[in-house]
Amino acid sequence: MTSNLLSLENLNKTELLNIIDITHKLKIGGDTENGILSGKTLILIFQKPSTRTRASFELAMKHLGGCVLYLGWQEAQLGRGETISDTSRVLGRYADCIVARVYLQSEVEEISRYAKVPVINALSNEYHPTQAITDIYTLWEKKKELEGLKIAYIGDGNNVCNSLLIGCSKVGINIDVASPSGYSPLSKALTIARKNAKRAGSTVNMYTDPLKAAMDADVVYTDTFVSMGCEEEKTERERVFLPKYQITSRIFDYTADDAVFMHCLPAHRGDEVVDEVIDGPKSIVWDQAENKLHVAKAILTYLLG
């Protein structure tokens, strides 16, 4: 069993599906999960702002009976020059688990190396594994199957895209990515995904044409074109992505009839998606967002229970 969740490389197919199963049991179980993590302590240490990820992990730990401490980067001595290794050594002695949201993947890996307790990557520049698990669970919840589904991810090949590539390919979901030249996913994420897909009998395809990716897709997925840390590129990114990669109702002319729309949020309405889609009948964005809480419970239960 894995002791960390730094990327979805840490989970094999069986482990990933086990977390999906735990998520469902906890979601339908209501109050029956109270006390599962009684006596356990979770520390959240965040370099970047967060709404859903922070709230979901704080509330998940409280619902499970544990204790939570939130530390912003500037609130800790990290903001005054203490090394990540020194902070991690100390926090690992205080807590049973650490959830970290950082700018660099190397930073969450360093926290894990020195903390000596389970560390969960709550987003880095390379990966967002908890989001991808949430998305896979939401798809299973809506479609009642995973193998053979097709996701069309349209937009920036960012941390969410990298994690979706790895996670979807493990469980037999076909994934087509459409991104502009120069904004493709990490080459190592693509390499891992293609190896996974070969074992699972699924496919991984890359396009620059969103309509090719959307063809017969069961899911259309997008994310903001301007991720945290890329704000200075906003004008250039809008020039590159708009209007070609904006999700409008027209894209669903090419998908399966019962295709759904997903977005990890926050959404920049009028940029990567229009109101008509995100608020429309095909959108499962709000269920997706709710499920972050249930997935957070499942991940904590899996690592600490």
N- to C-terminal Cα separation, the chain = 12
Strand locations in the chain (E): 41-46, 67-72, 97-101, 119-121, 150-154, 174-178, 204-207, 219-222, 260-263
Residue 228 has pLDDT above 80, yes or no: no
> What superfamily would CATH give domain 8-127+291-304?
Aspartate/ornithine carbamoyltransferase (3.40.50.1370)
Average pLDDT of the chain?
95
Mean pLDDT on 210-219: 98
pTM: 0.96
What are the structural domain ranges in the chain? 8-127+291-304, 131-288
Residue 257 has pLDDT above 80, yes or no: yes
The pLDDT tens digits for 91-147 are 999 999 999 999 999 999 999 999 999 999 999 999 999 999 999 999 999 999 999
Amino acid 229: pLDDT: 67
Question: What is the band of 33 on the pLDDT scale with cuts at 50, 70, 90?
Answer: low
Contact assessment for residue 217 and residue 176, using Cβ atoms and an 8 Å cutoff = yes
Kindly report the CA angle at 268 between 106 and 264, in degrees rounded to 5? 55
Mean pLDDT on 167-182: 98
Mean pLDDT on 151-176: 98
Question: What is the band of 302 on the pLDDT scale with cuts at 50, 70, 90?
Answer: very high
Q: What kind of architecture, by CATH, is found in domain 131-288? A: 3-Layer(aba) Sandwich (3.40)
Amino acid 54: pLDDT: 97
Residue 31 has pLDDT above 70, yes or no: no
Residue 67 has pLDDT above 80, yes or no: yes
Amino acid 1: pLDDT: 47
